[in-house]
Structure 1
Amino acid sequence: MKQFREAVEARDEQAMRALLADDVVFTSPVAFKPYPGKAITSAILRGVLRVFEDFRYIREINDAGGHDSALVFEAVVGGKKITGCDFIHVNDDGKIDDLMVMVRPLSGAQAVAAAMGAQFDQIAAEAAAESEGVSQ
């Protein structure tokens, strides 16, 4: 999805959040249980911006119908070079309702798990604050 790619490459947190559906589901490359909701997904994406170094997309694959995209990326996390893919589905309103990330190799996935794990208290606090702000 071109708009998401541009927002991530620009490190534009507001633009990334604006592309998410309220009912988006984020599936992590290192956590078993998916994370439902815009607040937690946008907080996770901000965490990713903090821990992924030298991030760049290297390929974009889109379906003819415009609902599914795969964005292949490279980055460095904890000194490990990783290759990954953001699998994106957009709803009929053009908002991302499913975002699944996969990474390789295993040592890179372990580095992602450690780096994001260290961020998770902050991610959870940001998501809670965003949820409270939205519900008021």
Structure 2
Amino acid sequence: MRAFREAVEAGDMDAVEALLAEDVVFTSPVVFKPYPGKAITAAILRAVSQVFQDFRYVREIGDAAGADQALVFTARVGDRELTGCDFLHVNEEGLIDDFMVMVRPLSGAQALAEAMGARFDQIVKDARARSAQGRPGDVRG
């Protein structure tokens, strides 16, 4: 999904959000339960864009015209370096309806969990505010 990659690399989180389906499900690398809905997914992605430092995609895996893509990335959280992969599935409209992230090593995942956990109350507030502005999506705290 070239448009998603370009939006992330440009730091254009509005464009990233526009590529999400209303019923997108986000699966975190550090939380057991998935997060359903565009508002919470967009809020999580906005927060992670602030947590990750030196983020860059290093490889794309999959058929560019296919429904499934994998984008391999590197980043840093504090002094921890990590490698990860965004697994994306797009629906018939070309919008992301399934978004799963995996990261390694464990120390990087732990640093990510700590950094995102510290922001989670604000993430939920941001998602609820976006929903109230006419940006629907299930927001669960």
Deviations 1:30-75 (CA, angstroms, capped at 9, x unpaired): 0000000000000000001110000000000123651000000000
Aligned to 1:107: 107
Task: Judge which range, 9-18 or 58-67, deviates more.
Answer: 58-67
- Structure 2 residue runs without a partner (length 5+): 137-141
Describe the SS at the equivalent of 1:44: helix
Describe the SS at the equivalent of 1:134: coil
Aligned to 2:49: 49
Aligned residues: 136
- Using structure 1 for the length normalisation, give the TM-score: 0.96
Aligned-partner Cα distance in 2 for 1:33–1:78: 25
Aligned-partner Cα distance in 1 for 2:64–2:2: 14
Aligned to 2:78: 78
Task: Judge which range, 34-43 or 126-135, deviates more.
Answer: 126-135
Aligned to 1:123: 123
- Using structure 2 for the length normalisation, give the TM-score: 0.93
Q: How does 1:7-86 map to 2 (within 5 A)?
A: 7-63=7-63, 66-86=66-86
Aligned-partner Cα distance in 2 for 1:108–1:54: 14
Aligned to 1:93: 93
- Structure 1 residue runs without a partner (length 5+): none
Aligned to 2:139: none
Aligned-partner Cα distance in 2 for 1:3–1:135: 21
What is the deviation of 1:135? 6.5
Describe the SS at the equivalent of 2:84: strand
Describe the SS at the equivalent of 2:134: helix
Aligned-partner Cα distance in 1 for 2:7–2:35: 21
**Contact 2:77/2:111 (CA < 8 Å) preserved in 1?**
yes
Aligned-partner Cα distance in 2 for 1:93–1:119: 32
